[in-house]
Amino acid sequence: MTSPYITSLRPVNPNDARPDQKAVLDHAQKQVGFIPNMYANMANVPAVLDTYLHGSDLFRRNSGFQPAEQEVVLLAISQVNGCRYCTAAHSMLADKKSGVPAQVLKAIREQTPIPDPKLAALHAVTQSMTRQLGKPDPETVRAFLAAGYQETHLMNIILAISVKVLSNYTNMATGTELDERFAGYRVG
């Protein structure tokens, strides 16, 4: 899905950024080791990037989800929102960093049944919450809880959805160009 409107905003170059933009880009550089194109676009409004970085960090550190589960959540949201940039980026992270089993990542990317029942329940409830604006299907929630998750995990999915709204919507509004390091995971 493409955005019918792409802003005329351009990525912020750290070398000629305003002080508030430079500060948040420097923080991002320290956090991830490079400035993804998405971050350079988000820095047009430093509060967007700052909020994204803070929320992402809290989700990663405090959600109660293992790294593979985190990527399943972030991929599920990005797919529902139609964000190709984040789907590619999280696919690379799932494959290279977070330990998502190859057959699970393949199923998520191809939108076929996920072979791991627990990750399938996590994916399903996340997509339901995203599609239905925080009102997941009760049966999907029951399956999620039966898979071993807690209701607090649902709240952490809400945190992830909030963070992904910032990134997914920014990417679609600005037409963010996919970074070379994610190119092998391009979708659509």
Q: Is 180 left (phi over 0), alpha (psi -120 to 50) or beta?
A: alpha
pLDDT in tens, 94-116: 999 999 999 999 999 999 999 99
Spatial distance between the Cα atoms of 46 and 17, rounded to a whole number of angstroms: 11
How confident is the model at residue 6, as a pLDDT?
87
Neighbours of 46 (CB within 10 A): 20
Show pLDDT as tens, one digit a residue, over the chain (188 residues). Answer: 444 678 899 999 999 999 999 999 999 999 889 999 999 999 999 999 999 999 999 999 999 999 999 999 999 999 999 999 999 999 999 999 999 999 999 999 999 999 999 999 999 999 999 999 999 999 999 999 999 999 999 999 999 999 999 999 999 999 999 999 999 999 98
How confident is the model at residue 1, as a pLDDT?
44
Instruction: Please answer whether residues 12 and 46 qualify as being in contact, where contact means their C-beta atoms are separated by less than 8 angstroms.
Output: no
How confident is the model at residue 4, as a pLDDT?
65
How confident is the model at residue 3, as a pLDDT?
45
Backbone angles phi, psi at 108, to 5 degrees: -65, -50
Q: What does pTM read for this prediction?
A: 0.95
Domains of the chain listed by start with CATH number: 65-185 (1.20.1290.10)
Q: What share of the chain is helix, strand, coil (3-state, %, to 5)?
A: 70, 0, 30
